Structure 1
Amino acid sequence: MNEITIIKPDDWHLHFRDEDMLLETVPATARCFARAVVMPNLVPPVINAELALSYKERIMAARPEGSSFTPLMTIYLTDKTSVQDIQEAKKAGVLAAKMYPAGATTNSDSGVNSLESLYPVFEALADNDMLLLIHGEVTQKHIDIFDREKAFIDQHMVNIVERVPHLKVVFEHITTKDAADFVLNAREGVAATITPQHLLLNRNDMLDGGIRPHNYCLPVLKRSTHQEALRAAVQSGSPKFFLGTDSAPHAKHRKESDCGCAGCYSAWSALELYAQVFDELDALDKLEGFASLHGADFYGLPRNTQTVTLIREPWEVPNSITLPNGEPIVPFFAGKPVAWKLKK
């Protein structure tokens, strides 16, 4: 197969950042995705309906001329989030709430310290037909960073899913066999997003032969056995797994520093890289479900009606991109060949 046409996909997890960065990130996503679930971890974070609507306006203003791309907004849960915050967010059209354990990843310092106190908020999400999106890692420093996803499942995820049985939960950017197995065996209303970097890479790609800061993301890349489990999950065609790039840009100097930021800017090549993975797995017939159908169905939104076509044509991800402020940024898979290309 040298050409494949699928319903236009959506990205169910990404970071646009803000201000000038939007002039790069919004067009890069709008080139191939109809909608995207926008993460709220700005500084300060998007914690209520008013801030979400303001952020949405800035994103809409950064769309390319003639684009119909639609951002799907979320709010950021804190220890002070109230049931009223959820009700107001619902009225404003906010789709979901994102829970970061405090300190788990970039701009998560305002995240949740006391998960137990948030159960009334979780109930309010369910009652208002909103989703809970979870960055599923514990933050206890004595727990090995490679084990923090598994520990979160054991300590928290099982309880959330069982105690609020009518709540839709997305386990974001899963990285382990443990998470894939948990989602597969969980009740209806539990799903997961999977990133291109966790399907294409394992921790050797970050650490072997020197530290590769542009492959550093959180949750961190895991063993090859976990990578293979994620590849098997998408190969299965299960509707519980769908596309979420976790595209997370940082300027080059912030990645290549003495305390480099976590995040891979994958928007430049995400759909093409997913196609490459599914091709390698002899599962191109499963790509449309993963990219275009499962997420919309889980969120309860209409499927897109437009289509996109990918062709088997080799190209190379650029080594660097210049941001509107003149700073360089290194895209994910920079300098590497990609076998599939979006047909214009």
Structure 2
Amino acid sequence: MSNEEYLKIPMPDDWHLHLRDGEALQVTVPHSASRCRRAIVMPNLKPPIRTVKEAADYKDRILSVPGVPHTFQPLMTLYLTDSTTTEEIARAAESDFVFAVKLYPAGATTNSDDGLTATRNAAAVFEAMEKYDLPLLIHAESTDPAVDVFDREAAFIESDLAWICENYPSLRMVFEHVSSAIGVEFVESQSHRMGATVTPHHLLLNRNDLLVGGLKPHHYCLP
């Protein structure tokens, strides 16, 4: 195979990593640190990482796990709540270890009960993030029970994400674990200011893999 036919990544970065907390760190941190140089660490713990101080303490817990290579760099994030202040955003931007803020709609996913109850509740926070150039990471999933489970990404784009993009044109964003053609098209429409993460199984599998020939529960994934 010639050099033109493949891409070699000696030490990749993980742009969406759940290390969890407590005893789990003894397993998750060595596994990730042995494979990745840097990682965006998700903040949806119990309780969540809401402040710069909590992020600093969590980073210390991660790096104190025995055997972690000194080269491993956890890039910390804050968990956006209805109570997040613009002052906390300023502190995050001034720090050298908080790299983004994560939006979870309340009730959408694991440990999201403290998430935003309404996206527009964070209007002042979005303005501050735009001012300080602090990126917003977005779990794009509607929690409206009337919305079909396979349409929740598209519904969130229409009801919430489009509003953020319209009102905060300089805010940098990452559309997390994009799982639909509509989601990909929306990211592409936002040009350089929006990126996306994607899981391998969302690239390889669709509803036919889940349902045709009988239900295969291990292929089920949200969002």
TM-score under structure 1 normalisation?
Answer: 0.60
Q: Does 1:14 align with 2:3?
A: no
Between the aligned partners of 2:31 and 2:209, the Cα distance in structure 1 is 25
The correspondence for 2:207, drawn from 203, 219, 241, is: 203
Relative to structure 1, is the Cα distance of residues 207 and 17 closer, same or farther in structure 2, using a 3 angstrom cutoff? Answer: farther
Between the aligned partners of 1:173 and 1:86, the Cα distance in structure 2 is 24
Q: Is the 8 A contact 1:161 1:169 kept in 2?
A: no
The correspondence for 1:172, drawn from 176, 192, 207, is: 176
Per-residue CA shift, 1:156-212, capped at 9, x if unaligned? 111111211111011110000001111112143111111112112223444453442
Relative to structure 1, is the Cα distance of residues 205 and 60 closer, same or farther in structure 2, using a 3 angstrom cutoff? Answer: farther
Query: Aligned letter for 1:169?
Result: M
Corresponding residue number in structure 1 for 2:128? 124
In structure 1, the gaps of 5 or more residues are 220-344
The correspondence for 1:155, drawn from 152, 159, 162, is: 159
Give the drift of 1:115.
Answer: 1.2
Q: Is the 8 A contact 1:205 1:212 kept in 2?
A: no
Give the drift of 1:4.
Answer: 5.1
Give the drift of 1:127.
Answer: 1.3
Between the aligned partners of 1:117 and 1:69, the Cα distance in structure 2 is 35
Secondary structure of residue in 1 paired with 2:115: coil
Greater relative contact order (CA < 8 Å, ≥ 6 in sequence): 1
In structure 2, the gaps of 5 or more residues are none
Secondary structure of residue in 2 paired with 1:183: helix
Give the drift of 1:30.
Answer: 1.6
Between the aligned partners of 2:185 and 2:153, the Cα distance in structure 1 is 13
Query: Aligned letter for 2:18?
Result: H
Between the aligned partners of 1:65 and 1:55, the Cα distance in structure 2 is 15
Relative to structure 1, is the Cα distance of residues 24 and 216 closer, same or farther in structure 2, using a 3 angstrom cutoff? Answer: farther
Identity %: 47
- After superposing the two structures, state which structure 1 stretch, 124-133 or 72-81, moved more: 124-133
Relative to structure 1, is the Cα distance of residues 154 and 31 closer, same or farther in structure 2, using a 3 angstrom cutoff? Answer: same
Corresponding residue number in structure 2 for 1:321? none
Corresponding residue number in structure 2 for 1:105? 109
Corresponding residue number in structure 1 for 2:90? 87
**1:24-43 paired onto structure 2 within 5 Å:** 24-43=27-46
Q: Is the 8 A contact 1:173 1:192 kept in 2?
A: yes
Corresponding residue number in structure 2 for 1:183? 187
Give the drift of 1:217.
Answer: 2.8
Corresponding residue number in structure 1 for 2:196? 192
Relative to structure 1, is the Cα distance of residues 158 and 8 closer, same or farther in structure 2, using a 3 angstrom cutoff? Answer: same
Q: Is the 8 A contact 2:135 2:174 kept in 1?
A: yes
TM-score under structure 2 normalisation?
Answer: 0.91
Give the drift of 1:119.
Answer: 1.3
Q: Is the 8 A contact 1:99 1:111 kept in 2?
A: yes
Relative to structure 1, is the Cα distance of residues 65 and 79 closer, same or farther in structure 2, using a 3 angstrom cutoff? Answer: closer
**1:133-282 paired onto structure 2 within 5 Å:** 133-208=137-212, 209-213=214-218, 215-219=219-223
Q: Tell me the number of residue pairs that the alignment of Structure 1 and Structure 2 aligns.
A: 218
Between the aligned partners of 1:12 and 1:28, the Cα distance in structure 2 is 15
**1:288-327 paired onto structure 2 within 5 Å:** none
Between the aligned partners of 2:38 and 2:115, the Cα distance in structure 1 is 25
Per-residue CA shift, 1:297-337, capped at 9, x if unaligned? xxxxxxxxxxxxxxxxxxxxxxxxxxxxxxxxxxxxxxxxx
Relative to structure 1, is the Cα distance of residues 138 and 55 closer, same or farther in structure 2, using a 3 angstrom cutoff? Answer: same
Q: Is the 8 A contact 1:83 1:120 kept in 2?
A: yes
